[in-house]
Each structure stands twice: as structure tokens, then as C-alpha cells.
């Protein structure tokens, strides 16, 4: 398993919504197709674990973009 250090993400439930789909889409970009991702998962590829940890950390650490329309609502 990939070594993950303790990080306080301070996440909200909204940040976790569809995180699994986002991670899978990013993995498909890295591995080329869904079949390669699934075969790497089946083979317990350590590189896949590192990619998952890196993508999840990046997605949880970045702040969501503010909707531009919210600035104009009075």
C-alpha cells in the first residue's frame, strides 16, 4: 500500500462528492483506458496506489473555484 502521511484536509461533504469518479477519470488519462486501470488494480500495481493517493490529495487540497455568478447576486 502507498504510504500516506496524516494530512488534515478540512474537507466538506461537497468536496467528497464524486471524488471516486474524478479519481477514475484521472487514472484513465494516465493509463490510457479504463481496462488498463482495472487490470492494474487487479494486479495490485504499486504505481496505481501512488497515483490514487496523489490525485486524491491534490483534489482535496485545492480549493473549489467560486462560482462567478455569486459575486453578482445581491
| Alpha carbon distance 48, 9 (integer Å) | 22
Its domain, for residue 47, covers 24-61
Furthest-apart CA pair in the chain: how many Å?
Answer: 54
In a domain, 35, yes or no: yes
- Segments in the chain below pLDDT 70: 1-15, 63-74
In a domain, 17, yes or no: no
CA trace torsion 1, 58, 31, 20 (10° rounding): 80
In a domain, 8, yes or no: no
pLDDT of residue 37: 94
In a domain, 73, yes or no: no
pLDDT of residue 5: 62
User: For the whole model, what pTM was predicted?
Assistant: 0.65
pLDDT of residue 25: 93
User: Tell me, what DSSP letter sits at residue 66?
Assistant: P
pLDDT of residue 18: 82
- Side-chain half-sphere CA neighbours of 37 within 13 A: 16
Domain count, the chain: 1
Amino acid at each position: 500500500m502507498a504510504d500516506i502521511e496524516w494530512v488534515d484536509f478540512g474537507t466538506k461533504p461537497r468536496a467528497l462528492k464524486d471524488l471516486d469518479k474524478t479519481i477514475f477519470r484521472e487514472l484513465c488519462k494516465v493509463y490510457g483506458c479504463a481496462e488498463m486501470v482495472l487490470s492494474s488494480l487487479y494486479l495490485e500495481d504499486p504505481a496505481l496506489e501512488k497515483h490514487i493517493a496523489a490525485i486524491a490529495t491534490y483534489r482535496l487540497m485545492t480549493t473549489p473555484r467560486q462560482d462567478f455568478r455569486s459575486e453578482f447576486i445581491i
